Amino acid sequence: MPPDARPRLTVLSGPSGVGKSTVVAHMRKEHPDVWLSVSATTRKPRPGEQHGVHYFFVTDDEMDKLIANGELLEWAEFAGNRYGTPRAAVIERLEKGEPVLLEIDLQGARQVRESMPDAQLVFLAPPSWEELVRRLTGRGTESPEVIERRLEAARTELAAEPEFDETLVNTSVKDVARELLALMDVV
């Protein structure tokens, strides 16, 4: 990328369980210069998740204030919890010329498309529906009701694939991470 070119915001989205977090973790291990926005969420932490590293865990009241003050680039409700991307940090990193990646859901990707039309939207697809079901049910961290909601949402999300600029199929974490870096002009 030419030194005077400002990087585009890249949005990675896809159904729950497709491996977005795993791909991003692998990519950032290889290229820590890619800045991953940390989302705010009303969801309770899963085992091993740290505040400010994996998410900013906030109360419903705190989330209401972030939304009301226009401090989120996008936000969505998913599986009974709200998630949102703090706007200021994303803009600041882009203005510094740093590659920025958002890992968000379909609703959020659509909101980013509205507010930042030049963003690059990348859809991460599962190798098959059966594999996605296996991944979602194999986590063991959620109740059957939550899993069913995630599967229903996944059907909707898979149908939205044509709205994205690029599609990557997650057959190999290493390969997908490399393809994503190439799309971001980082390699």
Q: List the one residue out of 1, 178, 27 whose CA is nearest residue 97.
A: 1
The backbone torsions φ and ψ at residue 53, rounded to the nearest 5 degrees and listed phi first, read -105, -60
Task: Decide: residue 178, CB within 10 A, 0-12 exposed, 13-18 middle, 19+ buried.
Answer: middle
- 77-88 pLDDT tens trace: 877 899 999 999
Calculate the CA dihedral of residues 89, 93, 94, 99 and round it to 10 degrees: -120
Q: pLDDT higher for 7 or 187?
A: 7
pLDDT at 67 over 60: yes
- 143-177 pLDDT tens trace: 888 888 888 888 999 999 999 999 999 999 999 99
The 10 Å CB-count burial string (b at 16+, else e) for 50-84 is: eeeeebbbbeeeebeebeeeeebbbbbebbeebbb
C-alpha 187/C-alpha 183 separation (Å) is 9
Task: Please give the share of the chain, as a percent, with pLDDT higher than 70.
Answer: 96
- 113-139 pLDDT tens trace: 998 999 999 999 999 999 888 888 876
Task: Please give the share of the chain, as a percent, with pLDDT higher than 90.
Answer: 58
In this predicted structure, what is the pLDDT of residue 187?
61
C-alpha 65/C-alpha 186 separation (Å) is 35
